[in-house]
Amino acid sequence: MPDTTTATRRQTHAPRAVDAHDHAAEAAGSRARALGTRWLGAGLAAALAVATLALAATGRLTLYISPETVWFAVAAAIVTLVGAVWSCALPLGAEQEHGHDHGSHDHGGHDHGHAQDHARPSARRVVGAVAGATGGVIATGVVAGALLLPPASLSVDMAMQRAPMGNVLFAGADDVALGANTDTSTFGIGGWASVFATGSRPEKYDGSSVTLTGFLTPSGSAKDQAHLTRMVISHCVLDAQPASVPVQITGWQGQYAVGDWVQVKGTVRASADGKLSIVPASVSKIPEPKDPYEH
Amino acid sequence: MTLTTPGRRATAARDGAATPHALRAEPPRLTGRTALIGAAIGAVVIGALVAIDALAPHLFSARLPNRLQDGLTLSLSVLFEALPFVILGVLLSIVVQVWLPAGVIERVLPKRGWARRAVLSLLGMLIPVCECGNVPFARGLMMRGLGPAEALTFLIAAPIVNPIVILTTHAAFGFDGGILVARLVGGYLVANLIGWIYSRHPDPDALLTERFRDTCEVVVHEQGSGIRRSLAQFLIELRAVMPALIIGSALAGAVQVLVPRDVLLAIGSNPLLSVVAMIALAISVAICSNVDSFFALSFASTFSPGAIVAFLLVGPLVDIKMMALLRTTFTARTLAGIVGIVILFGFALGIGVNVFA
């Protein structure tokens, strides 16, 4: 991250470069550095903007961010691309030109102090340059991941790893869950998970019919009950939290594997001790939905 | 020091107009063939990126291991989320640095240091930028002569004292347990505390990285039309912010995959340890301030209210991604000081909420 260009820019001033060969090498070097600078700034931004637009065009941007902010991401990506193309009108390296240059006109050799200072790069500068270069490589690698690899949803492992803290409140769901005659027909797994965990009067929901889509995860060691799970995100995948509801399927592991996507149609039932679960009328295997998250 | 003087950088800016290089032979222009050729090359590069993005995924069908893939997905998610705000921040920094007439900032702001900082910490109410976008914006302000301590006050306050964050925090928590009030007042106070502490620094410019000081000098002496300077500022700011943003996001993604979250969450409702755990979670998870309250809401049933407040205060200010971004501009030493103050303040506030609320 820090201080690469300063370090490298200054080093080039140091030697009294007089013969043409050195000059040419120096010019090539500074050109490469200027290109690197462009790439690490506008280049990386443009690459991300391209990835954003491509994902949005194919309807897959919601794999990463909430549908509400897609328009904003798209607008900013377009601005980025316009800016990136337009800024190429500036000659390479122009953005780094010093006004009161130490660079372009000190070949005459007026400032000796300066030259000596920078002739031997200090250990700190070397470390800075190495850190900067490493940072640049990592940043390029991450962005390359966006361009080269197909987008993916979070793995089932991740949902299961986070499962222990499942059954919590999801965005805004607390109001509806506890209110009187709430309309539960629009509830996804997130909404139902909140109701199951916190609903003060489970009998109220007994008999509600539901159609839910999610993937199957184990419910402890129970043989006749699975969890129907879905990742719920409120803004971007970073805040994804698993939500799950218990579904009664006798001997489910004989028919399904952990992580299988299914659509469950059925009824909410309260057991004698007031625990809610879903008794399915039908469970059908489906491919992973285009938007694997609930928002 | 920063009380009334607009700072050394602004002075340099004003002198700059009159000093030697105005004599330079060719004032750079942006018209003509070279500019067109440059733009055409840019368009070709972007076309190549589009082609790569469209074709490459079909070439490698092998899947990454789950963990690595999850880490990448999480990192990219932060990036796609943050990029628009960064671009907005860069545009604002261009407006401030290039198009705002000289002296406007000085005229609008109060003269006294504490009053200036008090006003700057409310600037977030007007500027609709998330915390990542604040960094380029604050850099633009500093290039125009705002002191580092004043810019810091803005940077620390704005992610919390802003309308979107107030609305979403209210939507998530209402006025329960004083969480909303504690977050707002806490954010305002810690920003002014940090601003005050650093305003007493004998050499404010020493708070900034050498690289940023160099950039300031380059920028204030920039010649040419407004458009040219805007484009240069666009390039400079993206160069400064993009690598830091990407590395910060990658770290946030990696931490999520590598650090088991249940270890933190096992601590639960202990009034003291829960605050520590939520501060650790806030720093590692790096969620934008305008949505972190929904995330925090899912912990409300297991964690103490003080822990939630500490999470909501510390997260937007000094999470991993923000640290990487701030490091572009402030020295490691300054950054360590800021992080330390914010964490201690968040801890004290969290404990305070647990004891009194």
pLDDT in tens, A29-69: 788 888 888 899 999 999 999 999 999 999 889 889 888 88
Q: How confident is the model at residue A100 (pLDDT cuts 50, 70, 90)?
A: very low
Nearest to B171 among A51, A164, A172 (CB): A172
Angle between the B305-318 and B163-173 helix axes, to the nearest 10 degrees? Answer: 160
**pLDDT over 90 percentage in chain A:** 17
Contacts of B236 in chain A (CB under 8 A): 41, 95-96
Give the Cα separation of B185 and B191 in Å (integer): 10
Whole-angstrom distance, CA of residue A51 vs CA of residue A43:
12
Q: List the single residue in B67, B235, B247 with the smallest CB-CB distance to A42.
A: B235
Q: How far is CA A40 from CA A35, A74, A118, A138, B47, in A?
A: 9, 21, 25, 11, 18
Residue A10 in this model has a pLDDT that exceeds 60: no
Q: Is the pLDDT of residue B293 over 60?
A: yes
How many percent of chain B have pLDDT more than 70?
89
Torsions phi, psi of A245, nearest 5? -130, 145
Find the mean pLDDT for residues A147-168: 74
Mean pLDDT of B107-116: 87
In eight-state DSSP terms, residue A234 is S
B244 in helix, strand or coil? helix
| Closest Cβ opposite residue B74 in set A73, A170, A238 | A238
Q: A207: left (phi > 0), else alpha (psi -120 to 50), else beta?
A: left
Q: Which residues of A touch B327 (CB under 8 A)?
A: 1-2
Do the Cβ atoms of B39 and A85 come within 8 Å? yes
pTM assigned to the model: 0.79
Please compute the mean of the pLDDT values over residues B152-159 and round it to a whole number. 92
Nearest to B191 by CA among B130, B123, B245: B123
**pLDDT tens, position by position, B174-189:** 887 788 999 999 999 9
Q: Is A175 on the interface with B (CB under 8 A)?
A: no
Q: In the prediction, which pLDDT does A80 show?
A: 95
Looking at residue A254, what is its pLDDT? 85
Q: Minimum mean pLDDT among A78-92, B112-126, B284-298, B307-321: which range?
A: B284-298
Q: What's the CA angle centered on B237, arms B234 and B243, to 5 degrees?
A: 125
CB contact under 8 A, A142 and B72: yes
Task: State mean pLDDT over B121-126.
Answer: 87
Rg (CA), chain A: 29
Question: Residue A11: which pLDDT band, with cuts at 50, 70 and 90?
Answer: very low
Does B243 score more than 60 pLDDT?
Answer: yes
